[in-house]
Chain A
Amino acid sequence: MGRRVAIVGAGMTKFVRRAKETGKELAYYAAKAALDSCGAKLKDIDAVVLGSAPDTFDGVHMKGEYLSCGAGAFGKPYLRCYVGGGTGVFSVAVGWYYIASGIFDTCLVVCEEKMSSYQPHPQGAFLTIFDHTTERPLGPNLLWIFALEMQRYMQTYGIKKEEIALVAVKNKKNALDHPAAQIAQEITVEDVLKSEVLCYPVQRLDVSPVSDGACAIVMTNEYLARRFTDKPVWVSGVGWCLDTAYWTNRDLCYPRYVEEAARMAYKMAGIRNPRREIDVVEPYDPFDYKELHHLEGLLLCDRGEAPQLLVDGKTQRDGELPVCPSGGLLGVGNPISAAGLMKVIEIFWQLRGEAGKRQIAKKAKRGLAQAWGDLMQVGTVVILEV
């Protein structure tokens, strides 16, 4: 399976609704913080991976090239990768195969998003995910796909809105302890249920915000890891999978592509029983129901059973399986690709015992971060362990 790969450093910007910084400057802050966190210099880095969502957000074509110098890629092998919302976690998989293959010894992975550049509202940038001929003439907005998926999920398993709302309550509260968080707050289930209905069953407080921000990590091979840190975190499994773009032809109640991605990662990590072997998990939560949907796809509970874990309090930080201890996208914010990498960074900090007030109660040895994206289509998974 090639060389073992470690994450040795991590950094991120604050997530904000509108940043004064340019995209390059955000990428720089994150990349510099990641390097500084492990005493690395730019010259220690062999290659750079950039993750970023559609060019349309930043309003810059060849966004990868535009961001390159801020990501520390001057004069280095450099690649931008993109699988929609799954990008942040996928970029870690790309960094992993750079190093596992032995091509490079060290690698900087940077994810940046500046959604606020898009006017009048970043949602417009999503319009072209719908088929231009058979769907866009109907006048869709992005929330449609989420609302349709959420409805199908609720109907298939008889899940109530009250149960789903608990995710928003938990994550926004967890984010109160995250120094980079954009919309951390203490809310109740009632607040969620009373919030403005945007696209039934999706309400205002079910949704993560649009954000500007960047995240970065430093990855090395097993031989160099301890030169940068005493506490390397190992990437023991990566997985990714894409389903068909004909999204109206599949049952939206279950994300089978997430399952495929998880199975790939579990196999690589030698995990036979994920429910026993995964200590902490950061599933992708751009909408509250997605956290539940993804826990099921990750095989961490039976189909339709995720809400029960939540109701029983098992997914709190002091529970059996802490879920989104960071506060997730619902609380910390959702600068698409950077949000995915934020999840990997949270697992990194949790496993090193550096999550501060967010540190989970149990001793965690192995954690999983997952992202999702495109037309409800892609699952990306990374498993870390100490």
Chain B
Amino acid sequence: MEQKENRKKEIIHFFGQLPVESLYTAGIAGERFLLGLKEGKFLANYCPDCDFVFLPPKLYCEFCFRELKEEDLKEIENKGILLSYTFTHIDTNGNRLENPIIVGVIKMNGTDTGFVHKLLNKIEDIEIGMEVEAVFAPKERRRGSINDIVGFQRID
């Protein structure tokens, strides 16, 4: 066995990379929702068995497993209540952001679920319980994505 002192330079790490690139389909229910956003509409769906409204809509009710079909979709108004919010001053790599990103959980009127998106107001103007509405991107820039909504802003 060789002695430890003979060891010249210890090799500790091996550096490498994992190539990860994903393409996520929105799915059957997801596509119904996103195509709604593209039209500037909020589409939710309702499970009559559980009396529950999902936003974003789902293919199935997760409580009773009923399939929710296209005809179960209903348009809801662009208005909701801010349930909670946070703001972040750093990005995912830990770098300081010049302008903080504000993220809120919004309960849209007529739905039973929270909806996460950005808030566009200044921090000092934001309070839990305030009424908010979605601001849509200009129609030509919408592509059927959650970012077809720019963010939510306070309604005064």
Contacts and interface: CB of A to CB of B under 8 A. Distances in A.
Interface of A: 18-22, 24-25, 28, 31-32, 35, 41-43, 56, 58-59, 69-70, 72, 74-75, 116-120, 124, 127-128, 132-133, 136-137
B24 A59 contact: yes
Interface stretch (B2-10, B37-45, B55-63): B55-63
A74 B25 contact: no
B19 A124 contact: yes
A20 B28 CA distance: 7
B23 interface: yes
B67 A20 contact: no
Given A42-B65, A72-B65, A132-B16, 14 more contacts: A20-B31, A21-B27, A21-B28, A21-B59, A22-B27, A35-B65, A43-B64, A56-B18, A70-B62, A74-B62, A118-B20, A119-B22, A120-B21, A124-B20
B29 interface: yes
25 contacts: A18-B25, A20-B25, A20-B27, A20-B28, A22-B27, A22-B30, A24-B59, A25-B29, A25-B59, A28-B65, A32-B65, A32-B67, A35-B65, A41-B64, A41-B65, A42-B64, A43-B64, A56-B18, A59-B20, A59-B24, A74-B62, A74-B63, A116-B23, A118-B20, A119-B22
Contact of B26 (A22, A32, A35, A119): A22
Contacts of A42: 63-65
Nearest to B31: A20
A124 B21 CA distance: 10
Contacts of A69: 62
Nearest to A56: B20
Contacts of A58: 22
Contacts of B65: 28, 31-32, 35, 41-42, 72
Nearest to A31: B65
Nearest to B23: A119
Contacts of B31: 20
Nearest to B25: A20
Contacts of A43: 64
Nearest to A212: B25
Interface string B54-93: 0000011011110100000000000000000000000000
Contacts, number: 73
A32 B21 CA distance: 31
A59 B22 contact: yes
B14 A118 contact: no
Interface of B: 14, 16, 18-31, 59-60, 62-65, 67
Nearest to B65: A42
A124 B20 CA distance: 8
A31 B61 CA distance: 13
Contacts of A21: 25, 27-28, 59
Contact of B28 (A25, A31, A32): A25
A11 B64 CA distance: 18
B76 to A, nearest CB: 21
Nearest to A136: B16
A117 B22 contact: yes
A133 B14 contact: yes
A117 B28 contact: no
Contacts of B16: 132, 136-137
Contacts of A25: 27-29, 59-60
A74 B14 CA distance: 42
Given A20-B28, A24-B27, A35-B65, A70 B22 contact: no
* For the complex of A and B, 4 pairs with smallest distance between CB atoms: A59-B22, A22-B27, A69-B62, A119-B21
A294 B149 CA distance: 54
B23 A28 contact: no
Nearest to A134: B14
B19 A28 contact: no
Contacts of B19: 124, 127
B22 A118 contact: yes
Q: Among A25, A75, A118, which residue has the most Cβ atoms of chain B within 10 A?
A: A25
Contact of B21 (A19, A41, A74, A118): A118
A117 B23 contact: yes
Q: Among B23, B25, B26, which residue has the most Cβ atoms of chain A within 10 A?
A: B25
A115 B35 CA distance: 25
A128 B18 contact: yes
Contacts of A56: 18, 20
Contact of A28 (B14, B22, B59, B64): B59
Nearest to A22: B27
Contacts of B26: 22
Nearest to A120: B21
A22 B60 CA distance: 12
